[in-house]
A and B are shown apart, each in its own frame.
Chain A
Amino acid sequence: MCGIISVVDRSGAVMDGARIRDALSMMDERGSGEGAGYAAYGVYPEFADCYAIHVFFDNIVETKAQVDALLQTWGTIVHDEEIPTYEQPHLKKVHTPWRYFFRPDPTLMTGTPSPEDDIVTYLVMKVNTTMRGALIYSSGKNIGVFKAAGWPEDVADFYRIQDYKGYIWLAHNRYPTNTRGWWGGAHPFNLLDWSVVHNGEITSYGTNRRYIESYGYKCTMFTDTEVVAYLVDLLARKHGLDEKLAVRALAPPFWDEIDRMPPKERELNRAIRLTYGSAMMNGPFAIVVAHRDGIAGFTDRIKLRPLVVAEEGDRMYISSEEAAIRRIAPELDRVWMPRAGEPVVGRVRR
């Protein structure tokens, strides 16, 4: 059991993190105090064209120089600093969160249409698999993930989440079940533009992990949600599937439902299931994925986890509980529970 609250302002207007904190804290019972986190889009306007790379250092004496050197090999560190944190009585600071604003040198990676994204992905995998004591957990442009092992309100206050402003917020309260809680295992999980929060369990983790690692991704965070972030990056960014088709691949309809579809739709759905059989996720889950253009929420196809959607003007909310949404917006235009496996998309108008 975990708690999710997310919001997108489709006009692109920013909101600070104060009420997201309050909404997530309402669902404290959905967690165990071992992990909470927030992702916000639009938080670094002054470095909007740089990749904001957030790193947990075990200590900044031994490993930071290695990370600095690696980044400088592949591009320019425009600015770097410790992420400001504020001591909390119930949160033990076991890592030092650091942020780099990094500009990769596209001439250094050949044979790809997206050299900058690929350099950053390479750096994330390289640091997380080879540099003990350093973990990159956030690597998008103008995006920041703020997470730690603790209760939602303590993690929010630790980072003073109210000081950040974003047009998309994703927040998560964790109840670890299969692996221990730790800073890197807290949600959201991020790679480049993609951030993921997840309530439930990916029972097909082994299959999905083998599949995604065959494309060069490396799972390092000891928890199932990580594969979702990489699967989305593979399907949506590299293979160019839109949100609806990507969700179809991850949580496809049952075969008997596909058999009843009109011929064209049947052919498409059959092709997706056959092509992406190893990307299909089994088990109970409710997931919200964010990208700079919006958010998408969906559940497993037999709806073993809750997901509520609401709209209020330009804002669309996706959450585990309606009450959490109403903590932010008491008066809503529309509230509904989407069908199992059916993606709900809130897109920013551009």
Chain B
Amino acid sequence: MRSLVLLAMLGVMGLAFWAYQENYRTQATARDAERLSAEIGALRERLALLNAEWAYLNRPERLAELADINFDGLALVPFAPEQFGAVEQVAFPPDPATLIVREIVETRGSLGEGEEALP
């Protein structure tokens, strides 16, 4: 009987400790959630600002000006009907069977009798 009471007391103490910990963890999580929602709000505001800036920087008027300024390098012209092509006009890729040397290949050989190395 005595051991049973002891066991129960230990149980109560254990549960109290657990409840105490849970309480503090909940409070910490709640604070965390509040901080996160404030952060989300700030990030949303920043996102809206960046979106507005993106739209401002990509306005057609400015892009046309930039295309004009950089005409030497980019040669961008407005989209015109002549730029549509037909599928038949696209060149076939080169035949993969043909060996194409893309890198420097080291080759060796020996000179035979009477041959001279070119300068």
Is A bound to B? Answer: no
Residue ranges of B at the interface with A (Cβ–Cβ < 8 Å): none
